[in-house]
Amino acid sequence: MIEAVIIMGGLGLLVGAGLAFASKIFYVYVDPTILAVEEALPGDNCGGCGLPGCSANAEAIVAGRAAPNSCVAASEDVAMEIAAILGVSVEAKEPDIARPGCTYGVAKADTKFIYDGLSDCRAASLMSGGMKVCTIGCLGLGSCARVCPFDAITMGPEGLPVVDEVRCTGCGTCERVCPKHIITLSSVTRRILKEYKTDECTTPCQRACPAGIDICEYIRQITLGEYHRAVQVIKERNPFPAVIGRICPRPCENECRRQFVDQPVAINFLKRFAADYEKQTGERVLPFKAPDTGRRVAVIGGGVEGLSSAFFLARLGHTPTVYEATSKLGGLLRSAIAAERLPAEVLDWDIDGVMEMGVTAETGAALGKDITIASLLADGYEAVLLTLGGWDSRLARGGLREVESPVPGVYLMLDFVKNAGQDGTAVRLSGDTVIYGGGRLALEAARVSRTRGQGAVKVVLRETRAGCGLEEAEIEALTDENVKFYFNTGIVRLLGEGDRLTMLDVVDLVNGETASISAGTLVLASGRVPELAIVKEVAAEEAGDEESAAPAMPTASAVRWTGISPYKEAAFHTQTGLFSSGDVFTDYSAAIRAIGAGRRIAASVHEIMYGIPLDLPDNVVTPNAYIQNVDHVENVRPAARRIMPLCEAQGPAEYTELELGFDENTARFEAGRCLQCGLICYRQVPEPQRKAG
């Protein structure tokens, strides 16, 4: 017995020693921060975050691959608790909602194809099953509905997914399983940042609109009598519906498929009808906004581009303030368009709508005189947007006689050549002078700089040496005078400190290599200062650490800043540098184009502040993109386009607007002419309407 006890005791000691040794070898360390985050999560393991359970999400949060508020099943308190564990702050999360992106399912197709394979969209896509004609059309087999963890998706009678917005948490499971990206996540921010891609269902009119308005949808709302909803759809991309409804050049109508039958739909007149209805009822329609971010942005210029950028910044959740040099907002819309086409009360109505989105404005504040970029950044603004307009805008405000330098050290060529050779009071050169573009005028500016400047003179040209149009002898002569030429070069970034320009980042347009050159003065061969998002650089010592008190605001003279151009219009998204192909050298040719530019610069500064790359995808829609389309329309009976009624001739004392606008009956009929197009599909007008036409 004693021997057995000894043997068992020895075996116990041996096993214990072995286990202790094994624990040292096979011990797995678990980060206590991950454990704390996982403990804070609800533990539902629903997969709504896109990861396999709460443990994986906790690891992703601690590693920085997921946000503290990434759990769709958790409350705001949970997100704040996780942020406290990590020692970071968290902004309010904007809800995402799944949104189908196909307008016609197989149920409406004239030609139907039978698919007897697996009832799964991914399998059908791999096996070339489902809809055979439209490569972007919904396959309609309901994979998105089956995988939704919250039963928020059902397949409707038209064979398209229908989303219950109350149940939807924006987890993105449906988006991940859809092989054609028909159903995607949508939010205010996503819609504002969105540029249309070739793998999406877009319509010809929508692609032609410089602002990218969902034209078919707002016209559909008019046919339903939902005029306020129509205005809300318009304001998703256009904060000036009443103005644009009067003055737009209507490029969308040039692409309307109705022209294959008779005449294009009166798209812009319908926009005006909906906007006038809003104004006449006095019930302001405001589009949706993202949660408040607490970020302040200054917008310089109260014209249509500046007000549009402020409008979209407010919708992105930021707090914009518009600074306008004149006494009234509106820019060229107020000063250059006849009252018979655009009454002041109509312009004021739309501007008031921009203000009601949460935009504030200060008039009589000129950049470079009353305010400076450095003072605004020192005052707590995270960014300053330059939407100054061009030479026409300057003419309208009576500023042609004055030399302006709204950005430190930056002058327009006309001012520079005209005034720099005089007594020197108008143009003050400091440091190295860089002349950007200008052809032969650049040579004159270089000579002026050599006689007046203190530093080196550099001429930066986007063209090749052989293609710049300059005589070789002239280039050699200035080179002998220590003027340095940069050919095939674009400027991509401005850097400064306080009220001084200090550096330029340039790019070789052939090989894409970047470099920095010293610059105290920049002379631009254009009629406008380029659109720029100017952001404050935060030095390491200014940022401080988590346990220290908040750092004090730097003085204006110590603020370091960077000027970055917004991403390019889609048609020119491969271009690089300021004033490349497609960039505007003076004012925009149409207000609707300035609105599109306002959205792009607002989206750009949002992406810059959140560290999102500005590059557009390769498959962004451009005029030269290969997109499915149609070249004729069948089974649609002609219906004459309704004509805009005009006012009768009256005396000056009885002034009225030239175009009177559509009444409700006319608008409803004209809206009914819309074919409600998809990518290659369209609505065939019902027989009763064909007879009415």
Which residues are within 8 A (CB) of 190 and not within 5 positions of it... i.e. 6 or more apart? 96
pTM score: 0.87
Within 8 A by CB and 6+ apart from 502, the residues are: 431, 495, 496, 518, 519, 520
> In the predicted model, is pLDDT for residue 692 greater than 60?
no
Extract the tokens encoding 445: 């500016």
Task: Provide the angle, in degrees to the nearest 10, between the axes of the packed helices 215-223 and 227-234.
Answer: 170
- The domain 97-186 is placed in CATH, from the list 3.40.50.150, 3.90.550.10, 3.30.70.20, 2.70.70.10, at 3.30.70.20
d(CA 162, CA 143): 13
Which range, 50-64, 352-366, 438-452, has the best average confidence (pLDDT)? 352-366
Q: Which of 67-71, 137-141, 403-407 has the lowest mean pLDDT?
A: 67-71
Instruction: State residue 349's pLDDT score.
Output: 97
Look at residue 95 and give its three-state secondary structure: coil
376-393: per-residue pLDDT in tens?
A: 999 999 999 999 988 777
Closest CA to 502 of 435, 405, 558, 431: 431
Interval 251-297: pLDDT, tens: 999 999 999 999 999 999 999 999 999 999 999 999 999 999 999 99
Q: Give residue 653's pLDDT.
A: 52
Overall average pLDDT of the 223-248 stretch: 97
16 pLDDT tier (thresholds 50, 70, 90): low
% pLDDT > 90, the chain: 53
Distance of alpha carbon 317 from alpha carbon 298, whole angstroms:
14
Q: pLDDT per residue over 183-201, tens digit each? A: 999 999 999 999 999 989 9
Distance separating alpha carbons of residues 690 and 693, to the nearest angstrom: 5
Q: Which of 482, 586, 470 is nearest to 524 (CA)?
A: 586
Q: What's 336's DSSP letter?
A: S
DSSP state of 260: G
**Residues pairing with 500 in the sheet:** 497
- Does residue 67 surpass a pLDDT of 90? no
Q: What is the Cα–Cα distance from 55 to 42, expressed in whole angstroms?
A: 11
- The continuous run of DSSP H or E covering 669 comes out as helix 664-672
Amino acid, res. 409? G
Q: How far is the C-alpha of 160 from the C-alpha of 137, rounded, in Å?
A: 10
Assess whether pLDDT exceeds 60 at residue 26.
no
Contacts of 237 (CB under 8 A, 6+ apart): 209, 211, 212, 213, 214, 595, 599
Lowest-confidence region among 53-62, 88-97, 363-372, 424-433: 88-97
H-helix or E-strand spanning residue 14:
helix 2-26
> Which pair of tokens denotes residue 422?
């005089």
What does the DSSP assignment read for 443-460?
HHHHHHHHHH-SS-EEEE
Same topology between domain 290-407+529-539+555-616 and domain 411-521: yes
Minimal CA–CA distance to 672: which of 633, 640, 644, 632?
A: 640
Neighbours of 585 (CB within 10 A): 14
Domain at 31-90, CATH homologous superfamily: Electron transport complex subunit B, putative Fe-S cluster (1.10.15.40)
Average pLDDT, the chain: 85
Top-confidence residue, 93 or 85: 85
Question: Per-residue pLDDT tens for 477-530?
Answer: 999 888 999 999 999 999 999 999 999 999 999 999 999 999 999 999 998 899
Report the top-level CATH class of 290-407+529-539+555-616.
Answer: alpha beta
Report the pLDDT value the prediction gives residue 693, as an integer from 0 to 100.
36
Look at 20 and 330; give whichever has higher pLDDT: 330
Say what the pLDDT of residue 113 is.
61
Q: Is the pLDDT of residue 160 over 50?
A: yes
Each residue's pLDDT tens digit, 290-340: 999 999 999 999 999 999 999 999 999 999 999 999 999 999 999 889 999
Strands 183-186 and 521-524 come out as: unpaired
Residue type, 218: Y
Question: Is residue 38 scored above 90 in pLDDT?
Answer: no
When mean pLDDT is compared over 82-91, 100-109, 159-168, the highest value belongs to: 159-168
As a whole number of angstroms, the distance between CA 499 and CA 408 comes to 5
Q: How do the domains of the chain map onto residue ranges?
A: 1-30, 31-90, 97-186, 290-407+529-539+555-616, 411-521
**Predicted confidence (pLDDT) at residue 556 exceeds the cutoff of 80:** no
The percentage of residues in the chain with a pLDDT greater than 70, rounded to a whole number, is 84
Which structure tokens are listed for 528?
């406008």
- Looking at domain 411-521, which of 3.40.800.10, 3.50.50.60, 3.90.960.10, 3.40.50.2020 is its CATH number? 3.50.50.60
CA distance 174 to 100: 10
Closest CA to 606 of 598, 594, 595: 598
